[in-house]
């Protein structure tokens, strides 16, 4: 236990730092989770908006596609000519085409009869011309209506494409924000861990240097190494000038 006493302040400091780091990491993690949840909710909202707008515009897209098919078939470009003729007949039946056609024919025949040329080639030619003129006067608006509906379908398709781009951009931004928050939380956790370790090592070193274990190098002694040796020659040793063979 006495060995631990010098380190108690460092242990307390590191413990407090650990609590702070844990709280900071937990707060960053909760913020990242909140950001992710908000991104999910925003993405769902964007998805709902896109789905609703698409459902509203889809009928115009389909109508425009059908109108374009009929127009293309009538012009001999594509599609089914029989369906185009059926569509034209339906249109003419809903207008005053038949009445106008019959009225024009009566005017031609009445005029020819008055001249005594009812069954002439000129009368037949006049009836044909009048019928064509009447048909053109009704078919032109029909084709214009088909073209307008086709263009409206193209506009609706473009609007859906724009909504889709906005949806993708919003979802991408939400996901990026959530990813950034998650990444920042991870960085905060790593930074807190690194700072805590560095602080612990630093405090341990400081307390290690100031403990009862003196790590300082002692100062060198200035006393002579042989200062305690005797200066007189002991009596049991032969004289310094005696012969080594003198016993």
Give the end-to-end CA distance of the chain in Å, rounded to a whole number.
68
- The C-alpha atoms of residue 151 and residue 159 are separated, in whole angstroms, by 12
Q: What is the pLDDT of residue 159?
A: 92
- The pLDDT tens digits for 43-94 are 888 888 889 999 999 999 999 999 999 999 998 888 899 999 999 999 998 8
pLDDT in tens, 175-234: 877 777 676 666 565 565 656 556 556 655 555 554 444 444 455 555 554 445 455 555
DSSP secondary structure letters along 134-188: HHHHHHHHHHHHHHHHHHHHHHHHHHHHHHHHHHHHHHHHHHHHHHHHHHHHHHH
Q: DSSP H helical segments within 3-120, as ranges? A: 8-74, 81-93, 97-115
131-174: per-residue pLDDT in tens? 889 888 999 999 999 999 999 999 999 999 998 888 888 888 88
Spatial CA neighbour of 14 closest among 172, 196, 150: 196
Q: Is 3 buried (19+), middle (13-18) or exposed (0-12) by CB count in 10 A?
A: exposed
């Amino acid at each position: 236990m006495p060995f631990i006493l010098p380190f108690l302040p460092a242990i307390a400091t590191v413990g407090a730092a650990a609590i702070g780091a844990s709280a900071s990491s937990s707060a960053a993690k909760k913020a990242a989770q909140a950001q992710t949840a908000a991104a999910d909710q925003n993405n769902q909202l964007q998805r709902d908006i896109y789905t609703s707008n698409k459902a509203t515009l889809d009928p115009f897209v389909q109508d425009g596609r059908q109108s374009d098919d009929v127009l293309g078939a009538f012009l001999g470009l594509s599609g089914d000519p029989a369906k185009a003729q059926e569509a034209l007949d339906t249109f003419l039946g809903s207008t005053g085409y038949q009445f106008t056609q019959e009225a024009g024919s009566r005017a031609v025949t009445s005029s020819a009869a008055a001249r005594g040329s009812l069954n002439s080639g000129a009368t037949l030619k006049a009836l044909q011309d009048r019928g064509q003129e009447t048909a053109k006067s009704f078919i032109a608006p029909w084709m214009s209506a088909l073209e307008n509906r086709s263009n409206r379908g193209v506009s609706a398709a473009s609007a859906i494409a724009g909504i889709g781009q906005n949806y993708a951009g919003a979802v991408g931004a939400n996901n990026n924000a959530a990813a950034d928050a998650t990444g920042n939380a991870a960085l905060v956790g790593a930074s807190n861990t690194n700072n805590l370790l560095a602080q612990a090592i630093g405090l341990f070193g400081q307390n290690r240097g100031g403990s009862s274990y003196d790590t300082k190098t002692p100062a060198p002694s200035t006393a002579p190494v042989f200062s305690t040796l005797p200066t007189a020659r002991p009596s049991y040793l032969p004289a310094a000038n005696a012969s080594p063979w003198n016993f």
